[in-house]
Structure 1
Amino acid sequence: MLLPSEAVAATVLLTTVRLTEPWPAPGLVVGAWAGPEADGVLDLLAALPGSEQHRCGFNPGWTVRAYDETVLVPHFEAAFCFSCHEIRLTGPAVPPALERQFFDADSPEGRDLLDRLRSSAESPY
């Protein structure tokens, strides 16, 4: 997965959001990662292998929001649909070329990401 490099370098906090209504509904913030843990998740996102598009209509269940030190507005957000293997990136730090990508949700990295998203919802933050 390609990420906006300057925004990644400025990220100090990631929040995980569980989406229960069609995206871009705000969803419920269920977890957060900071410091080395956030760096590890960003590394995992960057390591997600690409994939071909699958058809499902894009119905993401999870999104990750990245914040800089102001922690006011996310500078980018990545919504993940594990059915159609699509990622949609939004936010002021996202160039148009990165807005829509496809990832291999069945790869070890894709399964690791889903596990981390699920476990973040189980851990108090």
Structure 2
Amino acid sequence: MRLPAEAVDGTVLIEVVRLSGLPAGRDDPYPGTVAAHWAGSDAAAALSLMASLPGSEQHRCGFSPGWSVRAYDEHLGAALFEAAFCFTCHEVRMRGTAVPPALATQYFDPDSTPAQNLLSLFRGAHE
């Protein structure tokens, strides 16, 4: 998976969100409950894991993501990016101030070891 390099370099905090639906509007965040905050080496490890996700082809499911991550810089203002993961259709949708259009929709192999490790991190996340 390709991540916006400048955003990765500037990320100091990742918010893990258990999603409950799709955004109401184009610029709204994905709704859900914050499950955890990762900073320091935990954030760096999660970003590295996301960057190591191997690509895949699209599978049709209607895009029903279960988890998202929001990456923040030191100012903790608007998210640099939010990435919503659907492990059924192999799709991740990214948006935010640091996301170029070419990275907005990507596909990953949910059965790969990095994807399964990421899913385990998500499922184990709690405040």
**Is the structural similarity TM-score above 0.5?**
yes
Gaps of 5+ in 1: none
CA distance in 1, matches of 2:85, 2:5: 19
Give the paired residue count: 122
**Pairs within 5 Å for 1:5-44:** 5-23=5-23, 25-44=30-49
* Partner in structure 1 of residue 73 of structure 2: 68
Aligned to 2:111: 106
Aligned-residue offset at 1:6: 0.5
- Of 66-75 and 19-28, the range deviating more from structure 2: 19-28
Q: Normalization by structure 1: what TM-score?
A: 0.94
Aligned to 2:85: 80
TM-score (norm 2): 0.93
Aligned position for 2:26: none
State how far apart, in whole Å, the 2-side matches of 1:10 and 1:27 are: 24
The CA RMSD over aligned residues, in Å, is 1.0
The CA distance in 1 between the partners of 2:100 and 2:56, in whole Å, is 20
Q: CA deviation at 1:28?
A: 1.2
**What secondary structure does 1:89 align onto?**
strand
Q: Percent identity?
A: 57
Deviations 1:17-59 (A, max 9, x none): 0112234542111111100110000000000000010010100
1:118 & 1:38 partners in 2: Cα distance? 16
What is the alpha-carbon distance in structure 2 between the residues aligned to residue 13 and residue 83 of structure 1?
27
